[in-house]
Amino acid sequence: MTSATLRHSVWILRGNPLTAVAATGVLLFVLVAIFGPWIVPYDPVASNVSEALLPPSAAHIAGTDQLGRDVFSRLIIAARLDLAIAVSAVGISFAIGAVVGSFCGYAGGRLDRGVGRFVDVMMAFPLFVLAMAMVAALGNRIENIVIATAIINLPFYIRFARAEVNVRRNVGWVEAARACGESHFSVVLRFLLPNILPAMAVQISLNLGWAILNAAGLSFIGLGVKPPTPEWGIMVAEGARFISTGRWWLVAFPGLALMMAVLCFNLLGDGMRDILDPRMRT
């Protein structure tokens, strides 16, 4: 990042403090995911029936669940798993989608039409149902949640990369690269792809929030991560049984964590779009 970009980012952030807040939130989320095991006050899986279903207090700031486990500790430990699923799923779909989409956008013609129709077909399915079906068919494992989430994200990356490359393929510097002796292949991989990365970073940020929600959703309906592993979706699902008896903290805190994570990633994505938008660069 050059100093000019940095200055520009600071200028944008000053006019848009929400992005700064979101960036801080995401940073906090990542730190919690990394250092979670060292900062939790209690063992997240150790049950203690004598302390079951306690409301939030000084000892248990988010209360305890039906087995007496500390909800706050579980929330913190769950951050790592949810983030890991989201990051690896988005990473896979980004890597494949960006390369496939770039070649489609550059080459056009039959390849582009073929892949384009395939993407259309995929997007015609309700994506969450597609993910459910895949996890159910492949087996209830974390790898499969990652694969399912990656596959349902793929169409967005293919389309996005295709569109970004397509507008650039006849630009002077692409032709210049070819006149300098680059093959079509290296023009795509070494010239076009790096140039669409900033725009794709926005997509990645927006998508991470969605992927977290997707993983939690799968766990919520019983596909994916299995109890007693701490995971936000499972915690919401388990806590839902107790909401009618007034034990709101079992659902509210994991739900809030989920909401904040998704919100921060989305706001960061929006903010990044503003920073990267060339029209804002005056």
Partner 1 sequence: MSEALLSIDDLHVAFSTRRGMVEAVRGVTLTVEKGEMLGLVGESGSGKSVTGFATTRLLDAAGRVTGGKILFRGQDVTKLRGDDLRQLQGAAMSMIFQNPRAALNPIRAIGLQIADAILTHKRISKEAARGEALDLLRAVQIREPEARMNAYPHELSGGMCQRVMIAIAISCNPALLIADEPTTGLDVTTQKVVMDLLADIAAARGMATILITHDLGLAARYCRRIAVMERGRIVEEASPRSLFSAPQHAYTRRLVAASPTATSRIEDLVTEEDRERYATVVSKPRAELVHGTPPLLEVRKLAKRFDQGSAAVADFSMTMAGGESVGLVGESGSGKSTTSRMICRLIDPSEGDIVFDGHSIGYVASRDFHRSRLRKDIQMVFQDPNESLNPRFTAFDCIAHPLLRLGGMRAGEALRERVEECAVRVGLPLDLLPRFPHQLSGGQKARVGIARAIACRPRLLVLDEPTAALDVSVQAVVLQLLDRLRRENDIALLFVSHDLNVVRMLCDRTIVLRNGGIVEQGESRALFDNPKTDYTRKLVEAIPHIETGEMLAAAL
Nearest residue (CB) to partner 1, 39 versus 171: 171
Q: Using CB under 8 A, count the residues that bind partner 1.
A: 23
Q: How far is the CB of 192 from partner 1 (least distance, A)?
A: 10
Residues 160-199 that bind partner 1 (CB under 8 A): 171-173, 175-184, 191, 194-195
Q: Which of 137, 38, 37 has the alpha carbon at shortest distance from 81? A: 37
Amino acid at 261: A
Residue 28 contacts by C-beta under 8 Å, 6 or more apart in sequence? none
Residues 10-29 that bind partner 1 (CB under 8 A): 11
Q: How far is the CB of 13 from partner 1 (least distance, A)?
A: 11
Q: How far is the CB of 2 from partner 1 (least distance, A)?
A: 7
Q: How far is the CB of 198 from partner 1 (least distance, A)?
A: 10
Q: How far is the CB of 188 from partner 1 (least distance, A)?
A: 13
Only segment of 5-13, 77-85, 154-162, 244-252 that touches partner 1 (CB under 8 A) = 5-13
- Between CA 4 and CA 142 the distance in angstroms is 42
Q: How far is the CB of 54 from partner 1 (least distance, A)?
A: 52
Nearest residue (CB) to partner 1, 127 versus 161: 161
Q: Is the separation of the CB atoms in 235 and 75 below 8 Å?
A: yes
Nearest residue (CB) to partner 1, 10 versus 39: 10
DSSP class of 64: B
Q: Is the separation of the CB atoms in 68 and 52 below 8 Å?
A: yes
Task: Give rounded-to-5 percent helix, strand, coil for the chain.
Answer: 80, 0, 20
Structure-block tokens of residue 184: 């079509």
Structure-block tokens of residue 64: 């305890």
Q: Does 245 bind partner 1 (CB under 8 A)?
A: no
Structure-block tokens of residue 281: 């660069």
Nearest residue (CB) to partner 1, 12 versus 100: 12
Q: How far is the CB of 190 from partner 1 (least distance, A)?
A: 10
**Which residue from 2, 50, 244, 245 is in contact with partner 1, where contact means CB under 8 A?**
2
Residues 35-64 that bind partner 1 (CB under 8 A): none
Nearest residue (CB) to partner 1, 29 versus 191: 191
| Backbone angles phi and psi of 112, in degrees to 5 | -60, -45
Q: Which of 171, 170, 162, 173 has the alpha carbon at shortest distance from 196? A: 162
Cα 274 off chain centre by:
19
Say whether 70 sits in a helix, a strand or coil: strand
Residues 109-128 that bind partner 1 (CB under 8 A): none
Nearest residue (CB) to partner 1, 24 versus 186: 186
**Residue 126 falls in which region: left (phi positive, over 0), alpha (psi -120 to 50) or beta:** beta
Nearest residue (CB) to partner 1, 49 versus 179: 179
Q: How far is the CB of 184 from partner 1 (least distance, A)?
A: 6
- Between CA 210 and CA 154 the distance in angstroms is 13
**Given the rule CB under 8 A, which residues bind partner 1?**
2, 4, 7-8, 11, 171-173, 175-184, 191, 194-195, 281-282
